[in-house]
Amino acid sequence: MQAPNALELPPLPLADWQDTQATLHMWMQIVGKIQLALTPMVNHWWNVTFLITARGMETQALHYSKGTLEIHFDFIDHNLVLATSGGDMRVLPLRPQTVADFYHEVMQALTDLGVEVKIWPVPVEVQNPIAFEKDIVHHSYDREAVTRFWRIFSWADAVLKEFRASFIGKSSPVHFFWGSFDLAVTRFSGRRAPERPGADRITREAYSHEVSSAGLWPGGGPVTGPAFYSYAAPEPQGFAHHLIQPPAAIYDQTMKEFLLMYDDVRQAASPRDALLQFLQTTYEAAANLGHWDRQSLER
């Protein structure tokens, strides 16, 4: 597999596109909730995730009463494309507009296509959620920043898939969660996990079994740019103090995760090797300290 060098991986400080990121997050939640409504429940919510494509991100095939629907975020021409198995299509331009306007356009497009679907029109996994039809706060769309975001996540998608390939136990696909707005891959030990105190419906299902999970997140709060993360749930004793590579990686006591800033990866002599080091050493910390049966789980 060929990976790009550091010069081909652009910077993406969160401050440069924070308003656009917040708007895009809400738009993706709308499409994600349509997928949620049109798919049967799959363990760990894998039925709701998006996949990276050659032009952006897309839903899986969504079955409705008259056929099949796919929804594609095109981050090259900057359109939302809704296409059915009957050959009908609606193309909505991605442009600066409120979440409320985007929501009404998408729902009208579905009506025009003959797709009957009802969603709960309130975002999840965000602070102070605003119902989609009332959200006139988020309205930014910086095309260049969105394209950079997608290209970075597309590169990470390839490396995460390479990492995933060596694990023969239960593993998630490499997929994008529109609720938490991150690209993730999760490995499982095969054992059930203890109940998480105070867990809601989402986290109870997500962490029903022991996991080592890693991925990429655009940042937020004190994390001022994209960061690769890795955590174990439940976290085994000694995990936070385990030696991790590359040296730039840290353990965040608040988030209970190892973090490796994307800027440290893109500026490395080999970004691919730096990321694979991080993924492998954090997994080994989780698996070894958690007493996973690695011989039966790995190639």
**Number of structural domains the chain divides into:** 2
**Does residue 248 lie in a domain region?**
yes
**Does residue 242 lie in a domain region?**
yes
Cα 52–Cα 78–Cα 30 angle in degrees, nearest 5: 65
Asked if 126 contacts 25 with a C-beta cutoff of 8 angstroms, the reply is yes
Q: Which two tokens stand for residue 161?
A: 């898939």
Where a domain ends, among 134, 164, 196?
Answer: 134
Residues 92, 113, single domain; the answer is yes
Residues 170, 289, single domain; the answer is yes
Please tell me whether residue 277 adopts helix, strand or coil conformation. Answer: helix
Residue type, 111: T
Q: So what's the pLDDT on residue 2?
A: 47
DSSP letters of 196-231?
PTT--HHHHHHTSEEEEEEEEE--BTTB-S-EEEEE
**Does residue 60 lie in a domain region?**
yes
Range of the domain at 48: 13-134
Residues 267, 236, single domain; the answer is yes
> Cα separation of 264 and 258, whole Å?
14
Q: Which two tokens stand for residue 182?
A: 């991150």
Q: So what's the pLDDT on residue 191?
A: 95
**Does residue 2 lie in a domain region?**
no
Where a domain ends, among 113, 134, 155?
Answer: 134
Residues 101, 231, single domain; the answer is no
> Cα separation of 170 and 187, whole Å?
6
Residues 168, 118, single domain; the answer is no
pLDDT per residue rounded down to tens, the chain (299 residues): 444 444 489 999 999 999 999 999 999 999 999 999 999 999 999 999 999 999 999 999 999 999 999 999 999 999 999 999 999 999 999 999 999 999 999 999 999 999 999 999 999 999 999 999 999 999 999 999 999 999 999 999 999 999 999 999 999 999 999 999 999 999 999 999 998 788 888 888 888 999 999 999 999 999 999 999 999 999 999 999 999 999 999 999 999 999 999 999 999 999 999 999 999 999 999 999 999 999 999 99
Q: Which two tokens stand for residue 91?
A: 């193309």
**Does residue 219 lie in a domain region?**
yes
Asked if 99 contacts 139 with a C-beta cutoff of 8 angstroms, the reply is yes
Query: Sign of torsion, CA 100 18 258 298?
Result: positive
> Whole-model pTM?
0.94
Instruction: Describe the crossing of helices 143-164 and 271-289 by its angle, rounded to 10 degrees.
Output: 50
User: Partners of 183 in the beta sheet?
Assistant: 176, 216
Where a domain ends, among 105, 134, 163?
Answer: 134
**Does residue 112 lie in a domain region?**
yes
**Does residue 3 lie in a domain region?**
no
Residue type, 30: I
Residues 51, 111, single domain; the answer is yes
Residues 176, 291, single domain; the answer is yes
Residues 181, 113, single domain; the answer is no
**Does residue 21 lie in a domain region?**
yes
Q: So what's the pLDDT on residue 253?
A: 96
Query: Sign of torsion, CA 95 98 101 104?
Result: positive
Residue 274: how many CB atoms within 10 A of its CB? 23
User: Partners of 220 in the beta sheet?
Assistant: 223
Q: Which two tokens stand for residue 158?
A: 């390839």
Residues 289, 248, single domain; the answer is yes
Q: Which two tokens stand for residue 117?
A: 């679907």
In eight-state DSSP terms, residue 139 is -
Residues 214, 104, single domain; the answer is no
> Cα separation of 260 and 250, whole Å?
7
Residues 193, 98, single domain; the answer is no
Residues 228, 170, single domain; the answer is yes
> Cα separation of 5 and 297, whole Å?
31
Asked if 37 contacts 117 with a C-beta cutoff of 8 angstroms, the reply is yes
